[in-house]
Structure 1
């Protein structure tokens, strides 16, 4: 998109579009600029980890993709099509902010696992995973339960389907939250500091589940974490953020072992 932020991107014949593309995306909260003209592409099936100090804009990227926040300037594309915006007019030459209804439909393509588990305490584990596919996707309860059982097996909780969340450890609750996000069959999975609310001894069990998902599925993964060992294991690419901008990007081993930017080196020393 050249010069005009409202222009619809030209199609590239025979090209496979990125799973996610941020084009000159700015996000402000009042006078505070959290993202500053961000250009970011994530390929289909790619695993990208965002690192950097608190307040550098990492979680805001995930919240924009979940449509929990709206873009101030620029546009987000998913599979080459406007996601944050929608074409206006018969020629489709101008983009305007998408309506709430359009955003609700589009966000079904994206799943997110939050820092807090946010499980329904009055439902058992199976019901927590089944609820959204039945009521949001319109799946039959039988099909949703079959898929949920498979997912709970994937996260190692097939023996806990009848338990209430209050009877589970924090690590088990977070694994239920991961299964719940996957139950919506997302094309893109967002992970926002998913171990930060856990006791240290529970972190490993959740990270092991996520490593298995990264290894065994083709899902596109966008992750915010301070767990550098996990970032090394699952990431195709790591992006270092500071003050709303990407200051360094590279393959996991290259960026973690031989960062070029002093700010990256300083940050990595602080989290190791």
Structure 2
């Protein structure tokens, strides 16, 4: 699976410039400078409350930054230029840029009244304006990719949690995003279902060119799929490096302390 609009491998796809996000008196992200290159897989690790999921929610425009700018494939996400000045973006501008981003949440959020195939094809038809026959074929291909072809005509309530999460992954990919965001996608699953979902994501990471930003506490998965791992604490990047470096020879005391609790 390739993305026709994606830039050359190694080009910057996502960029945070001095992004600050506060909730009341609490600063969750503190002048964050952060970038992800096209076709790369970046995993964010760190304790709860360190700002990792906030990054994903800002990219999905579920939150807006208090300061700083976010750029996706060269386009400002929550700002735009008007008369030479940077102003808050209108909904139309934001919606267009957001089409480049897909997200898989902790909860599956499937439409309970729609069968698996329709769950996957609904957004491409209504958001992208894709022809229904083309959307149906795209859905079938992606449902096969996540190993659920035999469940095409079932409702979400007839599937296990792990199967529902795989449908959610197919649904996110159906929009052909340039970057896929993964937010603790196995945290709501029973332990015996986790491996199946991680195997699907690992296959996608290794067999497609999609860019990934992943928040997870599954460190073996992070080691397997990541080109780069970032350790967060108190809204800042404490340490950044290859998975081999971060997991085997971290430099920062805070990284070593955190990994000792999760490995």
TM-score class, shorter-chain normalisation, is: over 0.9
SS in 2 for 1:148: helix
Partner of 1:79: 73
Contact 1:17 1:80 in 2 (8 A): no
Q: Which residue of 2 aligns with 1:180?
A: 171
Matching of residues 211-226 of structure 1 within 5 Å: 211-226=202-217
TM-score (norm 2): 0.95
Alignment of 1:72-151 (within 5 A): 72-89=66-83, 92=84, 94-151=85-142
Residue of structure 1 equivalent to 2:256? 265
Q: CA deviation at 1:250?
A: 0.4
Residues of 2 paired with 1:145 and 1:265: CA distance? Answer: 48
What is the rounded CA distance, in whole Å, between the counterparts of 1:23 and 1:210 in structure 2? 29
- Contact residue 9 and residue 37 of structure 2 kept, 8 A: no
What does 1:30-69 align with in structure 2 at a 5 Å threshold? Answer: 30-69=24-63
TM-score (norm 1): 0.92
Deviations 1:91-132 (A, max 9, x none): x3x211111221122111100000000001111100100111
Look up the match of 1:11. none
Query: Could you say if the C-alpha distance between residues 159 and 105 of structure 1 is closer, same or farther in structure 2, counting changes exceeding 3 Å?
Result: same
Q: List gaps (5 residues or longer) in structure 2.
A: 1-7
State whether structure 2 residue 186 is matched by structure 1 residue 195: yes
For 1:15 and 1:199, the matched residues in 2 are separated by 36
- Equivalent pairs, count: 256
Task: Give the secondary structure class of the aligned counterpart of 2:63.
Answer: coil
Distance 1:100 1:191 in 2: 24
Provide the C-alpha distance between the structure 1 equivalents of 2:179 and 2:91, rounded to a whole number of angstroms.
20
Note if contact 2:72-2:97 (Cα within 8 Å) is conserved in structure 1: no
Runs of 4+ in 1 over 3 A off after TM superposition: 14-17
Uncovered stretches (5+) of structure 1, i.e. residues with no partner: 1-13
Q: Structure 1 CA distance, aligned partners of 2:58 and 2:192?
A: 32
* Superposition RMSD in Å: 1.3
Cα deviation code 1:27-85 (max 9, x no counterpart) = 11121111000000100111000000000000000001001110110001112232221
Q: State the alpha-carbon separation in 2 of the partners of residues 257 and 49 from structure 1.
A: 16
Between the aligned partners of 2:146 and 2:111, the Cα distance in structure 1 is 18
Q: Distance in 2 between matches of 1:187 and 1:246?
A: 24
Aligned with 2:146 (options 152, 155, 158) = 155
Aligned to 2:219: 228
- Maintained 8 Å contact 2:142/2:170: yes
